[in-house]
Amino acid sequence: MVSVVISVILTTVVVTLAIFIGRLRRRRRAGMSFRSEHVIVFTRYPEPGTTKTRLIPDLGEAAAATLQLCLTNHILEVLQLVQAKRPWVSVEIKYTGGSRKQVNYWLSSHRRRRLRCRWSEQTGLGLGERIVNAFHAAFARKKQRVILIGSDIPAIDADTICSTFDKLSLGTCNMILGPAKDGGYYLVGLSQNEGEESIDLSEKFSSFLPDPLFMSSDIEWGTSKVLQQQRKVAQQCQVRLEILPRILQDVDTIEDLVEIERSTGYTVDQIRTPFLSVIIPVFNEAPFIQQTLQNVTERCSFPNFIEIIVCDGGSEDNTQQLVTEFAENNKRVPIKLVTGLKGRGRQLNKGAMFSKGDNFLFLHADTKLPQGFDASVVLTLSTPGVSAGAFEFSLDCNHCSESERSEFDYSKLFEFEMKVLEWGTNMRAKRFELPYGDQALFMSRAIFKSVAMFPDYLIMEDYEMVCKLQGEGHIQIVEGKQAITSSRRYARHGYLMTVVLNSLIIMAYNLGIHPNALARLYYGRRLNHGN
């Protein structure tokens, strides 16, 4: 009787163990299969004069490069959605143009956005050879289902890519083409479905993919016959081909730009001449506000593409009256005054709500901008990999004429301390991409929305915003262009006390103390009377 019980128990244990091991093996095989799905993106580094050359006569070199950047960023955002649906899909970006340093700066920003990807330069003389080399490299790394797409198909979406992988996994075909409206194709997928993991896929792929499949002289790349010719060559190579039912439009000519607005939300005007909103939060800033407004209106290069939004938090002096008077007497740049609750974060957000700009520049009321600041904003935000920017930090006492120096009754020690402060602040901002609000932080409206605007804090709103922007890409400091801010706070409290207090505030914030509680420490009695 005992022996029977023991045998039953042993049998149960063995069967259970066998089932468990079987499930592990199936999961492992499934995982191997999942990890074998791979997407390749062909793109070009968006450098003016070398990208979207057919559009340069209509858009200009800079706007054509910006268009290329927008299209590539869009397709990489689509692939981020693909990885959200199929976490096992790997992504590789095959590029041409640009230096390795430039490409790394650009594409590393997408890793910050949690797109798992790698990148390498395209190899080969013609498009057909580059396609073959890209597929060979992917299959050499044990990829079984590989999809190659271009970066200029704005309407392509995650569902199209995922459904293509599903079709390839069925085994009814080993090649899929996505037809484009111009007679070419926007997607090509190849599959190597093998049940045996020991198969050397790179060797099998070499026999499966004869060079003529993409390198045949019968394929006239860049013409309206490419899809038709590719189907014929695939038939000659005895490849089982399937054509996707969805026909999409690529972007090559001015007529194709309608597709960008329909599929991505970008408009041609945004790309060609982006509009800038300068947003200034104020509270009892009567001594500074008109000088600041004068600075903005005089130092912009393109006044027809800029507006100023002053958001007042309930000033008790004549700040609002001074803004209204200046707006009536200076028509070079439109100025709008809005009012709301006090608090720099909420004031900045309200200013953005009432703005129409494609880009935002957030300016403190006691800070002056450099000459041509609006052109610097456009150039910086069009740099591949950049999510936001700011200007170099400087203080008015260190950047004034001899006639103005008499206004600053500061000691030599204080002037030295302010120079040290400038150096340290700029070192931190450039090396660690940590500018603060008094450096005139700027970004696009799209990025502003993606990071959910400024937090509704009485203090530290700029620090929190910068931390969120770092997750979207690089924050670039404009070289040789200074935002000159007032040294009044340092003169009032002293250099050492101000620096120590700022450090303590940042430390306390990172330890989890709410910024509104820290504001009481930072502003003291002035919390109820201005900041």
Identify the weakest region by mean pLDDT among 129-138, 176-185, 303-312, 451-460. Answer: 451-460
First to last CA, the chain: 88
| Residue 82 backbone dihedrals phi, psi, to 5 degrees | -60, -45
- Domains annotated for the chain, with CATH where assigned, are 28-264 (3.90.550.10), 273-491 (3.90.550.10)
In DSSP terms, which residues pair with 145 in a beta bridge?
A: 37, 191
Gap between the Cα atoms of 460 and 93, Å rounded: 37
Q: How far is CA 463 from CA 135, 288, 353, 467, 530, in A?
A: 45, 24, 21, 6, 20
Residues ≥6 apart with Cβ < 8 Å to 178: 149, 156, 160, 164, 185, 186, 187, 188, 243, 244, 246, 248
508-527 pLDDT per residue, tens: 988 999 888 888 777 765 55
98-116 pLDDT per residue, tens: 999 999 999 999 887 789 9
Contact 220, 226 (CB under 8 A): yes
420-442 pLDDT per residue, tens: 999 999 999 999 999 989 999 99
For 488, the token pair is: 């009044």
- Structure confidence at residue 16 as a pLDDT band (50, 70, 90): very low
Q: Could you count the other beta carbons within 10 Å of the beta carbon of residue 500?
A: 12
Per the prediction, the chain carries an average pLDDT of 87
Question: pTM score, two decimals?
Answer: 0.85
Q: Residue 413: what pLDDT?
A: 85
Q: Residue 12: what pLDDT?
A: 43
10 Å CB burial of residue 16 (0-12, 13-18, 19+) is exposed
> What value does the mean pLDDT take over residues 435-460?
93
Identify the weakest region by mean pLDDT among 23-37, 170-184, 250-264, 489-503. Answer: 23-37
Amino acid identity of residue 14, one-letter, is V
Res. 409: pLDDT tops 70: no
The 335-339 sheet, strands edge to edge = 335-339, 306-312, 276-282, 359-362, 442-444, 386-395, 474-485, 367-368
Of all residues in the chain, the percent with pLDDT exceeding 70 is 86
Residues ≥6 apart with Cβ < 8 Å to 210: 237
Gap between the Cα atoms of 222 and 240, Å rounded: 24
Q: Which of 93, 91, 95, 105 is nearest to 44 (CA)?
A: 95
Classify the C-alpha dihedral 292-293-297-303 as positive or negative.
positive
- Structure confidence at residue 337 as a pLDDT band (50, 70, 90): very high
**CB half-sphere exposure, 305, CA atoms < 13 A:** 18
Residue by residue, DSSP assigns 239-276 as --EEE-S--B----SGGGHHHHHHHHS--HHHHHS--E
Identify the weakest region by mean pLDDT among 13-17, 151-155, 194-198, 270-274. Answer: 194-198
Query: How many secondary structure helices (H) and strands (E) does the chain include?
Result: 22, 15
| Cα angle for residues 529, 324, 297 (degrees, 5° grid) | 100
Contact 336, 307 (CB under 8 A): yes
For 48, the token pair is: 């003016």
Contact 95, 51 (CB under 8 A): no
Q: Which of 160, 155, 136, 157 is nearest to 146 (CA)?
A: 136
Reduced 3-state DSSP string for 81-124: HHHHHCCCCEEEEEEECCCHHHHHHHHHHHHHCCCCEEEEECCC
Greatest C-alpha distance within the chain? 110
For 436, the token pair is: 């603060």
| Residue 222 backbone dihedrals phi, psi, to 5 degrees | 85, 10
Gap between the Cα atoms of 424 and 109, Å rounded: 25
121-138 pLDDT per residue, tens: 999 999 999 999 999 999
- Element housing 230 (H / E): helix 226-236
- Structure confidence at residue 17 as a pLDDT band (50, 70, 90): low
Q: Which of 433, 390, 419 is nearest to 487 (CA)?
A: 419
Burial profile 301-311: b = 16 or more Cβ within 10 angstroms, e = fewer: eeeebbbbbbb
3-class secondary-structure state, position 514:
coil
> What value does the mean pLDDT take over residues 407-414?
73
Gap between the Cα atoms of 32 and 15, Å rounded: 25
Q: Residue 135: what pLDDT?
A: 94
Contact 251, 152 (CB under 8 A): yes
Gap between the Cα atoms of 528 and 265, Å rounded: 43
> What value does the mean pLDDT take over residues 6-23?
46
Q: Could you count the other beta carbons within 10 Å of the beta carbon of residue 89?
A: 22
